[in-house]
């Protein structure tokens, strides 16, 4: 495929980037490029005579980098943090292992060296691994837009995506701990999740999120309620999943909804077992 | 031509070894030592695991592929492929496209009425067959552009040449084609049914040929009286050849000389030259030069004639500029020949105590919309004659219905025909073993062709040259720890995994081939091979061969052959190939033939040179010829090593030619054309161990043992790389690869996000061993190696999966073995 023609601009900072995004037809953010560049090659993003695409390259915007202390003893993970950095960061590994594991599950080392936290969250759909972990972690997505800064719960962000003209600036992960895990079955061709689950065990019970088997990363509160304080045996987890409405799960490429619903249960059971083990 | 038989070398007495593998490295070390002992005059360079000299430039991205060739003034071609699988073309309007910026030419079939269709040159041998027409009465394949109808998605309808690739691609969208849709058929057996959509006027009922081999009556009789019979319906699914480099072509017509040059990703430049000049373009042979630059893999796809090759030449002439075309991945998937695609009903008969008495296969082979250059031969002979594998079976019969459908043309895919044959036989053997309650290894061991029966006529048309199947089989059982599997199964079960073990043995005909024999097999052309060696005045050596590497390290290995024979340093030897202006005639690289066809030509040429140097040495040393000893790249007087001439001294003396008697020509420049007396038959036994996740149905290949016998090996490092790659290729078919056409003939899996290929991390731990049974049919004792290990893995893996599920009553599972398929079987659902 031939790369679509595009215009390119490299704003000096976030404010200029926001101005360009809201003021230019067909403007799109370029960070790691791992979602954008394939779309430009397949024609999914095509040249528009009325304007665009304009690639607004924010890779050098330093204020979007770094992992630092966040609100409430948690972590503030800058949007330009690469997946490789996230996967290997000691504080993430200790306090939000589900995020580190999800970051590590993306693509291959080259993809992880380029792909960013912000891009992975914003791409959402069924193709990326981070959103489901962010949902289980009960993280907040920090956005900058024409109206200023805001935060959105990761689950809501997974449903709505970034509002037009806005930029993901950080992922805010609450103070967690080791009692969390991520599990994934990857598509043979794309390595996108056929199904991925992330869990975190809290004093109030487990948080369980699923993607791949569902159209986007979702908290499964029904399953959480059924499982309560445990024990999280495989049989119990599979039974809790079977009690979910059938239409929750949607068929994937070459996989039935029935199988995906089952797979989500199996992966969740495994994740819960790992999370329990992590604090045992 | 030189025909070599077994007497030229003591190959039949040479080593048949077992060696310790355990790891790849151990196997390499042992191999090198063994081959060195068998080298006849050599300095031991042959058989050494030398690093491939081609690799650094490939790994650093420095090689020149077709896409890297940018001649001054190049214009760029794009091809309009059909968006529908079957339709009449009512009209084509190119006016709007012609007006677009940068567009130089838009052409359709109407522009090329004097161009002949591409021919098909390997037809089902010995039977009536039906093809689209060709003006010379040859079997035709397809026109360079279709004008009357489209017969598969991607069928080329029109081309645009423009200043840039982007302009050419953009203009395609402006070509308006009106279609009258026709019904679509994508499966071979469906295409043969009454009332099926018809593809070609000249091919009634879409049947290219009904082809058989073996003894039908004897086989039917044996099956009728057998104590036990087992049957399977198998789908050997269509797969997409996926070399890392898609195809490309650059045409360059020189108006001053009337000469055409084609740069193309080809594995057979001489063949392409002949077919294009004589049978498509109708131009003199000596006006076409074909150059293969570095070719980024082929796996059986780049020996074919494709429309683009003719089109870039024709358009270069029309426009007076070089014309370049480079395919995309999706383009490749809708145009380049695809593999496998047989639907079969197979039967095996035997005794209650495990003696196989008969095998019968009925196969529906899907040739695609048009015959590819050699597809019909691949789908019939290579498959049918190979079905009995390593076994001594009294009665065997195979029938193939080769049919046209609305899909991309079928061609070879690494292991072609033989892999499909091994799959059906090895699945049957396991099914039979299960039916009579015998261990599948014991059934196989009991039926192997005995060592003393070679040469062995398999009753289907092949005469196996040499082998020690028992040794090979036992080695595989030992290396794989087959005896330890029950304990491993129990251990895995405790972890929630079902462990299964699957064996697959095979014989893979290679070394195509004896030209006369191939003519009876339906090959419309010669299949010999050639080499030239020139010794330069300074003692350096250039080897040119008619073969053409697509990644097989010819430059390394052929240098080893020449250096070993001549007793010189391989660093002194340069190897050239791939340019018809420079290389001696040859048929190209396919069917794992280069080391058993081209390398023997190199060795025989070196021997001619040596014989000449002995004669000339007598003159230069001043002694009778029988006193001249050629050793270590020098000649010396027997008994007087002081009286000697080095290789370089001899080279210079022969360049000057001073003092040579009339019967010795000056210079050192020899050529050999090698046509073997028969094929060669590498073989082997593979053992796959899989673990199936009880809950998810996921299958992981956790261990893989391969013991292959490719005769004498020239460079074990190169061959081991080919074997590992081959196994991965086979695992791909077993577990993930599948070209899926929907009911409208649209290829759903038309890019690499939808067509899964195995990755490095899918590789199991390999245990590679070998046995060595030299072939008597060439002076190196070589057998094919490049593709042989692709033949058994699909069968080994499916056998292992079925073994893991056998207590659930599972008798077969179709490829690719996906997690959901296995999960459904785990739940007790039928296939």
> pLDDT tens for residues A180-227?
999 999 999 999 999 999 999 999 999 999 999 999 999 999 999 999
B87 three-state secondary structure: strand
Structural domain of residue B188, as residue ranges?
A: 69-117+132-197+247-326
Give the model's pLDDT for residue B637.
98
B20: left (phi over 0), alpha (psi -120 to 50) or beta: beta
pLDDT of residue B11 exceeding 80? no
CB < 8 Å from B in window 204-243 of A: 234
**CATH classification at residue A100:** 3.30.465.10
Same domain, B312 and B427: no
The answer to whether residues B136 and B279 touch, using CB atoms and an 8 Å cutoff, is: yes
How much of chain A, in percent, has pLDDT values that exceed 90? 84
Q: Tell whether ipTM is more than 0.90.
A: yes
Task: Name the phi and psi angles at B120, rounded to 5.
Answer: -110, 130
| Residue B809 binned pLDDT confidence (cut-offs 50, 70, 90) | very high
Give the model's pLDDT for residue B42.
58
Looking at the DSSP bridge assignments, the partners of residue B80 are B158
**Last residue of one domain, picked from the residues A173, A193, A213:** A173
Same domain, A88 and A73: yes
Alpha carbon A136 to chain centroid distance? 10
CB contact A188 to B (< 8 Å): yes
CB contact under 8 A, A259 and B165: no
Q: Based on the number of CB atoms within 10 Å of its own CB, is A69 exposed (0-12), middle (13-18) or buried (19 or more)?
A: exposed
Give the model's pLDDT for residue B537.
97
Contacts of A185 in chain B (CB under 8 A): 696, 698, 819
Tokens 């050849």 correspond to what residue?
A: B241
B768: which 2 tokens? 């590679």
Same domain, A162 and A68: yes
pLDDT tens digit sequence for B676-731 = 999 999 999 999 999 999 999 999 999 999 999 999 999 999 999 999 999 999 99
| Residue A1 binned pLDDT confidence (cut-offs 50, 70, 90) | low
The minimum CA-CA distance between B166 and chain A, rounded to whole Å, is 7
CB contact A3 to B (< 8 Å): no
B510/B386 Cα distance (integer angstroms): 11
CB contact under 8 A, B756 and A262: no
Residue to mutate among A3, A38, A110, A189, with most B CBs inside 10 A, is A189
Q: Residue-wise over A99-130: b if at least 16 C-beta within 10 A, else e?
A: bbbbbbbbbeeebbebbbbbbbbbbbebbbbb
Same domain, B691 and B595: no
Tokens 């740069």 correspond to what residue?
A: B263
Give the model's pLDDT for residue B641.
95
Residue B110 lies in a domain: yes
Task: Name the phi and psi angles at A121, rounded to 5.
Answer: -70, -40
Give the model's pLDDT for residue A49.
81
Same domain, B449 and B590: no
CB contact under 8 A, B169 and A2: yes
Same domain, A144 and A237: no
**Last residue of one domain, picked from the residues B619, B650, B674:** B674
**CATH classification at residue A186:** 3.30.390.50
**Last residue of one domain, picked from the residues A173, A196, A223:** A173
Residues in chain A: 280
Same domain, B416 and B347: yes
Residue B278 lies in a domain: yes
Residue B228 lies in a domain: no
Contacts of A234 in chain B (CB under 8 A): 695
Structural domain of residue A240, as residue ranges?
A: 180-279
Same domain, B507 and B553: no
CB contact B819 to A (< 8 Å): yes
A178/A196 Cα distance (integer angstroms): 19
Contacts of B696 in chain A (CB under 8 A): 185, 263, 266
pLDDT of residue B538 exceeding 50? yes
Of all residues in chain A, the one with the smallest CA distance to B331 is A1
Report which of B797, B728, B777 is spatially closest to residue B503, judged by C-alpha positions: B797
pLDDT of residue B36 exceeding 60? no
Same domain, A115 and A85: yes
> What's the whole-number mean pLDDT along residues B485-497?
97
Residue B46 lies in a domain: yes
CB contact under 8 A, A262 and B823: yes
Residue to mutate among A2, A194, A252, A268, with most B CBs inside 10 A, is A2
pLDDT tens digit sequence for B810-830 = 999 999 999 999 999 999 998
The minimum CA-CA distance between B617 and chain A, rounded to whole Å, is 60
The answer to whether residues B24 and B797 touch, using CB atoms and an 8 Å cutoff, is: no
> What's the whole-number mean pLDDT along residues B754-766?
94
pLDDT tens digit sequence for B397-414 = 999 999 999 999 999 999
Same domain, A135 and A186: no
Contacts of B751 in chain A (CB under 8 A): 42
> What's the whole-number mean pLDDT along residues A85-95?
97
Angle at A229 between CA A223 and CA A234, to 5 degrees: 60
Residue A101 lies in a domain: yes
Residue B6 lies in a domain: no
Please tell me what DSSP assigns to residue A9.
E
B494/B485 Cα distance (integer angstroms): 14
Same domain, B277 and B393: no
Same domain, A116 and A216: no
Same domain, A166 and A266: no
The minimum CA-CA distance between A165 and chain B, rounded to whole Å, is 30
Looking at the DSSP bridge assignments, the partners of residue B396 are B359
Please tell me what DSSP assigns to residue A244.
S
Residue B483 lies in a domain: yes
B603 three-state secondary structure: helix
Angle at B273 between CA B267 and CA B278, to 5 degrees: 140
Beta strands in B94-165 (DSSP E): 103-108, 118-119, 140-142, 149-150, 156-162
Same domain, B279 and B365: no
Domain count, chain B: 3
Same domain, B604 and B740: no
**CATH classification at residue B637:** 3.30.365.10
Instruction: Share the mean pLDDT of chain B.
Output: 94
Give the model's pLDDT for residue B800.
98
Same domain, A95 and A198: no
Domain count, chain A: 3
The answer to whether residues B732 and B818 touch, using CB atoms and an 8 Å cutoff, is: no
Residues whose CB falls within 8 Å of the CB of residue B790, separated by 6 or more in sequence, listed in order = B414, B415, B419, B726, B727, B729, B730
Alpha carbon B574 to chain centroid distance? 25
pLDDT of residue B93 exceeding 60? yes
Beta strands in B521-618 (DSSP E): 529-535, 541-545, 573-577
For every residue of B453-504, DSSP letters joined together read G-SEE-SSS-EE----HHHHHHHHHHHTTGGGHHHHHHHHHHTTEEEEEEEE
Same domain, A25 and A46: yes
CB contact under 8 A, A266 and B696: yes
Give the model's pLDDT for residue A126.
67
A80/B534 Cα distance (integer angstroms): 60
**CATH classification at residue A43:** 3.30.43
- Which helix (H) or strand (E) covers residue A171, if one does? strand A167-173
Question: How many other C-beta atoms can be found within 10 angstroms of the C-beta atom of residue B702?
Answer: 16
**CATH classification at residue B102:** 3.90.1170.50
Residue B566 lies in a domain: yes
**Last residue of one domain, picked from the residues B306, B326, B346:** B326
A257/B730 Cα distance (integer angstroms): 29
Same domain, B287 and B383: no
CB contact A255 to B (< 8 Å): yes
The minimum CA-CA distance between B283 and chain A, rounded to whole Å, is 34
pLDDT of residue B27 exceeding 80? no
B745/B219 Cα distance (integer angstroms): 37
Residue A2 lies in a domain: no
The minimum CA-CA distance between B754 and chain A, rounded to whole Å, is 6
Same domain, A186 and A251: yes
CB contact B165 to A (< 8 Å): yes
pLDDT tens digit sequence for B112-169 = 999 999 999 999 999 999 999 999 999 999 999 999 999 999 999 999 999 999 999 9
B300: left (phi over 0), alpha (psi -120 to 50) or beta: left
> What's the whole-number mean pLDDT along residues B770-789?
96
The answer to whether residues A179 and A276 touch, using CB atoms and an 8 Å cutoff, is: yes
**Last residue of one domain, picked from the residues A173, A189, A219:** A173
B294 three-state secondary structure: coil
CB contact B516 to A (< 8 Å): no
Same domain, B735 and B806: yes
A81/B19 Cα distance (integer angstroms): 52
Cis peptide leading into residue A126 (ω within 30°): no
Of all residues in chain B, the one with the smallest CA distance to A190 is B753
Cis peptide leading into residue B343 (ω within 30°): no
Question: How many other C-beta atoms can be found within 10 angstroms of the C-beta atom of residue B778?
Answer: 32
CB contact under 8 A, B330 and A1: yes
CB contact under 8 A, B819 and A1: no
pLDDT tens digit sequence for B649-681 = 999 999 999 999 999 999 999 999 999 999 999
A161: which 2 tokens? 């995506």
CB contact B40 to A (< 8 Å): no
Give the model's pLDDT for residue B44.
86
CB contact under 8 A, A189 and B819: no
Report which of A194, A195, A275, A200 is spatially closest to residue A241, judged by C-alpha positions: A195
Same domain, B350 and B314: no
pLDDT of residue B106 exceeding 80? yes
Same domain, A77 and A124: yes
CB contact under 8 A, B166 and A266: no
Same domain, B357 and B484: yes
**Last residue of one domain, picked from the residues B326, B358, B392:** B326
Of all residues in chain B, the one with the smallest CA distance to A194 is B819
Q: Which of A2, A188, A255 sits opposite B166 (nearest CB)?
A: A2
pTM: 0.94
């Amino acid at each position: 495929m031939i790369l679509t023609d595009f215009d390119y601009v490299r704003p000096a900072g976030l404010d200029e980037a926001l101005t360009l995004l809201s003021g230019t037809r067909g403007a799109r953010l370029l960070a790691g490029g791992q979602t954008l560049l394939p779309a430009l090659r397949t024609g999914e993003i095509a040249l528009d005579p009325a304007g665009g695409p304009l690639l607004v390259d924010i890779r050098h915007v330093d204020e979007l980098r770094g992992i630092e202390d966040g609100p409430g003893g948690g972590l503030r993970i800058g949007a330009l943090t690469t997946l490789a950095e996230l996967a290997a960061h000691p504080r993430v590994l200790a306090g939000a292992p589900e995020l580190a594991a999800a970051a590590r599950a993306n693509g291959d080392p080259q993809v992880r060296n380029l792909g960013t936290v912000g891009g992975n969250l914003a791409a959402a759909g069924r193709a990326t691994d981070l959103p489901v972990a962010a949902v289980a972690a009960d993280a907040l997505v920090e956005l900058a837009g024409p109206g200023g800064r805001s935060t959105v719960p990761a689950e809501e962000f997974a449903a709505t995506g970034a509002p037009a003209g806005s930029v993901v600036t950080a992922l805010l992960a609450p103070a967690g701990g080791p009692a969390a895990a991520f599990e994934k079955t990857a598509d043979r061709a794309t390595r996108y999740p056929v199904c991925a689950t992330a869990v975190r065990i809290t004093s109030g019970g487990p948080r369980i999120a699923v993607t791949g088997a569902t159209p986007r990363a979702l908290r499964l509160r029904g399953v959480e309620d059924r499982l309560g304080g445990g024990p999280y045996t495989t049989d119990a987890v599979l039974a809790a999943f079977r009690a979910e409405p059938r239409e929750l799960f949607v068929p994937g490429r070459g996989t039935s909804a029935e199988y995906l619903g089952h797979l989500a249960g199996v992966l969740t059971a495994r994740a819960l077992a790992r999370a329990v083990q992590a604090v045992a | 031509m030189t025909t070599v038989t077994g007497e030229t070398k003591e190959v039949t007495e040479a080593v048949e070894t077992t060696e310790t593998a355990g790891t790849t490295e151990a196997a390499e070390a042992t191999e090198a030592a063994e081959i060195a002992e068998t080298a006849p005059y050599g300095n031991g360079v042959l058989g050494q695991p030398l690093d491939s000299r081609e690799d650094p430039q490939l790994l650093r991205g420095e090689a020149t592929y077709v896409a890297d060739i940018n001649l001054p003034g190049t214009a760029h071609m794009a091809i309009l492929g059909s968006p529908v699988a079957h339709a009449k073309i009512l009209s084509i309007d190119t006016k709007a496209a012609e007006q677009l910026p940068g567009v130089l030419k838009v052409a359709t079939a109407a522009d090329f009425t004097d161009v002949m269709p591409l021919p098909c040159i390997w037809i089902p041998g010995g039977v009536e067959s039906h093809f689209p027409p060709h003006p010379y009465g040859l079997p035709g394949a397809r026109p360079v552009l279709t004008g009357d109808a489209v017969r598969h998605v991607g069928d080329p309808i029109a081309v645009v040449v423009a200043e840039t690739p982007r302009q050419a691609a953009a203009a395609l969208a402006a070509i308006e084609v009106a279609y009258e849709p026709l019904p679509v058929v994508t499966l071979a057996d469906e295409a043969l049914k009454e009332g099926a959509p018809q593809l070609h006027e000249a091919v009634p009922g879409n049947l290219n040929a009904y082809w058989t081999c073996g003894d039908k009556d004897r086989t039917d009789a044996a099956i009728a009286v057998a104590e036990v019979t087992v049957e399977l319906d198998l789908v050997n699914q269509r797969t997409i050849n996926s070399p890392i480099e898609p195809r490309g072509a650059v045409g360059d017509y020189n108006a001053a000389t009337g000469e055409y040059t084609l740069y193309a990703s080809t594995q057979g430049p001489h063949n392409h030259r002949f077919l294009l000049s004589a049978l498509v373009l109708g131009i003199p042979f000596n006006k076409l030069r074909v150059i293969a630059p570095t070719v980024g893999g082929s796996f059986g796809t780049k020996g074919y004639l494709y429309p683009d090759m003719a089109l870039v030449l024709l358009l270069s002439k029309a426009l007076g500029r070089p014309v370049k075309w480079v395919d995309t991945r999706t383009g490749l998937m809708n145009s380049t020949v695809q593999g496998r695609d047989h639907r079969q009903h197979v039967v095996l008969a035997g005794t209650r105590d495990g003696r196989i008495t008969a095998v019968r296969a009925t196969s529906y082979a899907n040739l695609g919309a048009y015959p590819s250059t050699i597809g019909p031969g691949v789908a019939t002979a290579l498959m049918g004659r190979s079905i009995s594998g390593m076994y001594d079976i009294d009665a065997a019969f195979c029938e193939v219905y080769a049919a046209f459908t609305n899909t991309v043309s079928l061609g070879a895919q690494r292991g072609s025909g033989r892999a499909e044959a091994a799959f059906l036989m090895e699945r049957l053997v396991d099914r039979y073993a299960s039916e009579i309650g015998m261990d599948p290894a014991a059934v196989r061991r009991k039926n192997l062709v005995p060592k003393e029966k070679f040469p062995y006529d398999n009753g289907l048309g092949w005469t196996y040259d040499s082998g020690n199947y028992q040794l090979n089989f036992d080695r595989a059982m030992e290396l794989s720890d087959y005896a330890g599997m029950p304990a491993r199964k129990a251990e895995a079960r405790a972890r929630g995994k079902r462990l299964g073990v699957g064996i697959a043995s095979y014989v893979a005909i290679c070394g195509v081939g004896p030209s006369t024999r191939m003519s009876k097999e339906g090959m419309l052309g010669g299949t010999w091979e050639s080499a030239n060696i020139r010794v330069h005045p300074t003692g350096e050596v250039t080897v040119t061969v008619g073969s053409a590497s697509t990644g097989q390290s010819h430059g390394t290995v052929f240098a080893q052959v020449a250096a070993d024979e001549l007793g010189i340093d391989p660093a002194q030897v340069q190897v050239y190939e791939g340019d018809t202006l420079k290389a001696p005639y040859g048929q190209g690289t396919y069917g794992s033939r280069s080391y058993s066809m081209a390398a023997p030509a190199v060795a025989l040429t070196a021997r001619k040179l040596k014989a000449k140097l002995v004669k000339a040495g007598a003159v230069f040393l001043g002694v009778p010829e029988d006193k001249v000893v050629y050793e270590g790249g020098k000649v010396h007087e027997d008994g007087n090593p002081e009286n000697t001439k080095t290789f370089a001294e001899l080279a210079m003396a022969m360049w000057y030619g001073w003092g040579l008697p009339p019967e010795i020509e000056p210079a050192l420049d020899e050529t050999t054309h090698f046509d073997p007396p028969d094929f060669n038959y590498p073989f082997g036994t593979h053992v796959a161990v899989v673990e199936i996740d009880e809950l998810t149905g996921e299958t992981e290949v956790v261990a893989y043992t391969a013991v292959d016998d490719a005769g004498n090996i020239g460079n074990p490092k190169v061959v081991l790389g080919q074997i590992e790659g081959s196994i991965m290729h086979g695992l791909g078919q077993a577990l993930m690869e599948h070209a899926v056409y929907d009911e409208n003939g649209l290829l759903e899996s038309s890019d690499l996000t939808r067509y899964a290929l195995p990755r490095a991390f899918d590789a199991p731990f390999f245990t590679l061993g070998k046995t060595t049974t030299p072939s008597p049919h060439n002076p190196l004792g070589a057998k094919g190696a490049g593709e042989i290990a692709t033949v058994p893995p699909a069968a080994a893996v499916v056998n292992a999966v079925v073994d893991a599920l056998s207590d659930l009553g599972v008798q077969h599972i179709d490829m690719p073995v996906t997690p959901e398929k296995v999960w459904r079987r785990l739940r007790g659902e039928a296939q």
